[in-house]
Amino acid sequence: MKKINLILIAGIAALTFGACHQKTKVPDPIKEADSTNAANDTTRNDTSGKIAKIDDDDAKFMVRAASGGMAEVELGTLAAKKAVNPNVRAFGAMMVEDHSKANKKLTALAASIGVSLPQIPAKSEEDLDDKLIKKSPKDFDKAYVDAMVKDHQEDIKDFEKEINDAKSGAVKTFAQNTLPVLQKHLTAITAVHDSLEHKSK
């Protein structure tokens, strides 16, 4: 009897241990926001009481921009504290300031036209944050700068496409007003990148 009890206890302990160490699947904030917007797409009302359909692509652009903007603030905060190179720290501080302003404008726009935005950055952005946190101060600068060059190149393409394709005038205006800021960032981080490359040679 004691033997059976011991076996049962061992089995329960093994199951409990396994359950505790299973990775919890975290919902994708981008997909969740896109799904919410798609479901609400034909149920929004404007002030006149008429159905105000928000274009699905415009809503998806806003979701991507919100996720990217939050990530830029998180990464910028990290860079302002961790970077060794003063130019990298200064760029990080600029990211926090500029993207915080853009995020507020986007949040206000989303509220006014009934678009749901993610509350946290996409998993890919969080993974980059985790990787950069683990970098030594010496290796951090290059990794952060490389990531920022790539991110801003992609963001500029996304914003330019939205300016050309937007169905919503308000979303198009947001993209138009934000694009020059992104272009300024790319110019600045490219100069930092080139200076780091020059020093390494």
pLDDT tens-digit readout, 131-182: 999 999 889 999 999 999 999 999 999 999 999 999 999 999 999 999 999 9
pLDDT tens-digit readout, 30-70: 777 777 777 775 444 444 444 456 789 999 999 999 999 99
Nearest C-alpha neighbor of 145 from the set 191, 77, 199:
191
Q: Kindly indicate the confidence band of residue 28, based on its pLDDT and cuts at 50, 70 and 90.
A: confident
Q: In order of start, what are the domains of the chain with their CATH numbers?
A: 26-200 (1.20.1260.10)
167 half-sphere exposure, CB direction, 13 A CA radius = 11
Nearest C-alpha neighbor of 100 from the set 71, 130, 132, 141:
71
| Report field, pTM of the whole predicted structure over 0.85 | no
Return the structure tokens found at 72.
């830029």
CA distance 154 to 83: 23
What are the residues whose beta carbons fall under 8 Å from the beta carbon of 107, sequence distance 6 or more? 66, 117
Q: Kindly indicate the confidence band of residue 83, based on its pLDDT and cuts at 50, 70 and 90.
A: very high
| CA distance to 12, 82, 130, per residue, from 28 (Å) | 32, 28, 17
Q: What is the dihedral of CA 183, 185, 190, 192, to 10 degrees?
A: 160
Looking at residue 94, its pLDDT comes to 98
SS (H, E, C) 108-174: HHHHHHCCCCCCCCCHHHHHHHHHHHHCCHHHHHHHHHHHHHHHHHHHHHHHHHHHHHCCCHHHHHH
Looking at residue 9, its pLDDT comes to 46
Nearest C-alpha neighbor of 27 from the set 131, 120, 114:
120
Mean pLDDT, the chain, as a whole number? 83
